[in-house]
Amino acid sequence: MFKAVLIEKDDAGYRATLADVDDARLPEGDVTVHIAYSTLNYKDGLAITGKGPVVRKFPMVPGIDFVGMVEASSNAAYKAGDTVVLNGWGVGEGHWGGLAQKARVNAEWLVPLPAAFSPKQAMAIGTAGYTAMLCVMRLERLGVKPDQGEILVTGANGGVGSVAVSLLAKLGYRVVASTGRPNEVDYLKSLGAVEIVDRAQFSTPGKPLTKERWAGAVDTVGSHTIANVCAGMKYRGVVAACGLAQGMDFPATVAPFILRGVTLAGVDSVYCPREERIEAWQRLARDLDPAHLDLISHEVGLADVIRLAGELLGGQVRGRLIVNVDH
């Protein structure tokens, strides 16, 4: 038996509970992992509360990422005792995920944990930090360099935003952080942001084009925010888009794209090819200041997850929530 957050939907309604689950109920897969830590992400919050159509079959164990030790493997790529990390691949949506003490998954979904990180540090990074690294890599590949101007990070207090600020600052970019929480100015500056701007200037309908300011941007918010970010990009600027905290809509015009040559680059972390995942984790080991991991995360127990899911969706959580599945 192992403990897990279990989401069920039946005639009695939609509910998430902390349950004792028999090992025999684990889904198919060639690697069984004893989980050490998971995290609570925005998508997990939607799944647990039922406020978004995340879960595709029931019952479901949420949790889009985890780190742990291989308990058993029928795949030659891994052996018992290996430490592995998983991000995405539909776990927590269509396949039981990481908010549990055990998981059984396909070997190709796993990545060896870089030696630079402890398991707890790996989940301080988690899917959010790995996604932030993919955004930075996309900006780099599309030619955005530190000497070209300011980089805007929206939703900067969130998990993706916090790691993006830290990474970009360490790589020499001048980072401007957008947030709706003025009390977090010191936190964002400690991560490397040189200026903090109020998210209100982006969150309502704006003009098709505004004054050119941003050489690049990492947007975690969507809706009017990303439309206004695009409107303020410099000539041939690049926006890496990875989130929808404000909404899935994109109420914009083509003006930034055809008059300034702006690039809107989508970043998907769920089904990203394995080679790029490995590169992203290697880059995190090299480019992320490990001292920032304590700043951007704090540990909670598996028993706290259901309560915290609503707070996360309400924007009341800073940075990353590491879930110790044994508490």
| Residue 139 predicted with pLDDT over 80 | yes
| Residue 175 predicted with pLDDT over 80 | yes
Question: What pLDDT shows up at residue 52?
Answer: 86
- The DSSP code for 300 is E
Please indicate, yes or no, whether residues 171 and 238 belong to a single structural domain of this protein. yes
Question: What pLDDT shows up at residue 320?
Answer: 84
Establish if 277 belongs to a structural domain: no
Could you give the count of Cα atoms lying within 13 Å of 102 in the half-sphere of its Cβ?
A: 19
Output the CA–CA distances (angstroms, integers) from residue 144 to 38, 216, 232, 267, 279, in the order listed.
33, 7, 16, 16, 19
> Number of folded domains in the chain?
2
Please indicate, yes or no, whether residues 142 and 260 belong to a single structural domain of this protein. yes
How sure is the predictor about 87, in pLDDT bands with cuts at 50, 70 and 90?
Answer: very high
Establish if 240 belongs to a structural domain: yes
Please indicate, yes or no, whether residues 49 and 21 belong to a single structural domain of this protein. yes
Q: What are phi and psi of 155, to 5 degrees?
A: 60, 40
Please indicate, yes or no, whether residues 132 and 247 belong to a single structural domain of this protein. yes
Please indicate, yes or no, whether residues 146 and 173 belong to a single structural domain of this protein. yes
Question: What pLDDT shows up at residue 254?
Answer: 98
Question: What pLDDT shows up at residue 124?
Answer: 93
| Residue 22 predicted with pLDDT over 90 | yes
Establish if 62 belongs to a structural domain: yes
Question: What pLDDT shows up at residue 288?
Answer: 94
CA-to-CA distance for 31 and 112, rounded, in angstroms?
Answer: 13
How sure is the predictor about 222, in pLDDT bands with cuts at 50, 70 and 90?
Answer: very high
Please indicate, yes or no, whether residues 244 and 206 belong to a single structural domain of this protein. yes
- Pick from 28-32, 196-200, 293-297: least confident: 293-297
User: 142, 218 in Cβ contact below 8 A?
Assistant: no
User: 68, 33 in Cβ contact below 8 A?
Assistant: yes
User: Considering the chain, what is the average pLDDT of its residues?
Assistant: 95
The mean pLDDT of 233-253, rounded to a whole number, is 96
For the full predicted model, state whether its pTM sits above 0.85: yes
User: 41, 49 in Cβ contact below 8 A?
Assistant: no
Question: What pLDDT shows up at residue 296?
Answer: 85
Question: What pLDDT shows up at residue 149?
Answer: 97
| Residue 284 predicted with pLDDT over 90 | yes
Question: Which range marks the domain in which residue 100 is found?
Answer: 2-116+290-324
Question: What pLDDT shows up at residue 218?
Answer: 98
Please indicate, yes or no, whether residues 48 and 68 belong to a single structural domain of this protein. yes
Strand-pairing partners, residue 323, are 38, 300
Question: What pLDDT shows up at residue 198?
Answer: 96
Question: What pLDDT shows up at residue 318?
Answer: 74
Establish if 283 belongs to a structural domain: no
Identify the sign of the CA torsion 37, 107, 140, 243.
Answer: negative
Question: What pLDDT shows up at residue 182?
Answer: 85
How sure is the predictor about 159, in pLDDT bands with cuts at 50, 70 and 90?
Answer: confident
Please indicate, yes or no, whether residues 185 and 249 belong to a single structural domain of this protein. yes
Q: Which amino acid is at 228?
A: N
Establish if 302 belongs to a structural domain: yes
- Pick from 47-56, 170-179, 260-269: least confident: 47-56
The mean pLDDT of 104-109, rounded to a whole number, is 97
| Residue 227 predicted with pLDDT over 80 | yes
